[in-house]
Amino acid sequence: MSTINKNVSIDARPKRRTTAKNISSMKGGTPIVCLTAYVTPMAARLDKHCDLLLVGDSVGMVLYGMDSTLGVDLDMMIRHGRAVCRGAKQALVVIDLPFGSYEESKEQAFRSAARALSETGASAVKLEGGVEMAETIRFLSHRGVPVLAHVGLMPQSVNSYGGYGAHGRTVDEWQPIIDDALAVQEAGAFAVVLEGVAEPLARKITDELKIPVIGIGASSACDGQILVTEDMMGMFAINPKFVKRFAEIGLAIEGAIESYATEVRSRSFPEEEHTYKMVGSNK
């Protein structure tokens, strides 16, 4: 199939890329804009608008139709990480360490992180877990691997939770989540994603931490926000409660495909302007 006509141009000119240190310095300032990216054209579109692009293990659900993120492996993350780094020239690119690639030991985590960064060009990794992962985060940070932590609702632990329900909706649930957030900060994470928690808890954690708190389903009290790009663009019929649909791209795609199918079947496409002529002929 032809790929001659492309609507997205990838600017190869060098630009100053945002660093993990830059993101840390944004604590308490202008909110940090983050979205997920899995492929080159989307990364190029998002790059100039976002401070941080996450190559999330959500790729398994968004692009591969998996029921959860648990089926994603490191090789898959590296393939998509390379694609995103080809398109992003400005935003900090962070790559998720998938389930099973870091939990066994801090040494395993370092090997996985080293592969992810060296084989993709990404600048940081993200991993899930609080108190129990603090030693691993410290080990990585001391060896030059910037770590974006993730606490609250952690999708890789969906089997333990029994679903994707919000956390911290009663005060009795607060302290373990607060302890997790403080632990990853003390261990050296440059920022933390806080997912699926009640607004008062998100506000308290954001106020108490010295590193940026990036919310997803955690209210505007956080230092920044992240969403799955395909969710906020309306690619799926159903979205989580915390997702605002900023567009209805799914419906637009369906409309375009319907028009294409109609024109192909009626032979109204391709028209003369889409057809090659013989060399030296006006016909």
Catalytic site positions: 195
Of 78, 98, 88, 73, the closest CA to residue 37 belongs to 88
Dist CA 67 CA 46 (whole Å): 26
Residue 57 among known ligand-binding residues: yes
Residue 126 among known ligand-binding residues: yes
Residue 58 among known ligand-binding residues: yes
Beta carbons of 192 and 213 less than 8 angstroms apart = yes
List residues bridging with 195 in a β-sheet. 152, 216
Residue 128 among known ligand-binding residues: yes
User: Measured between alpha carbons, how far is residue 1 from residues 4, 6, 63, 124, 189 in Å?
Assistant: 9, 13, 21, 36, 45
The alpha carbon torsion through 135, 136, 138, 140 (nearest 10 deg) reads 160
* In the chain, alpha helices (H): 20-24, 40-47, 59-62, 74-87, 106-120, 134-141, 158-161, 174-187, 199-208, 229-232, 249-265
**Residues placed in the known binding site:** 57-58, 96, 126, 128
Residue list for the binding site for 3-methyl-2-oxobutanoate? 57-58, 96, 126
- Which residues does the annotation place in the binding site for Mg(2+)? 57, 96, 128
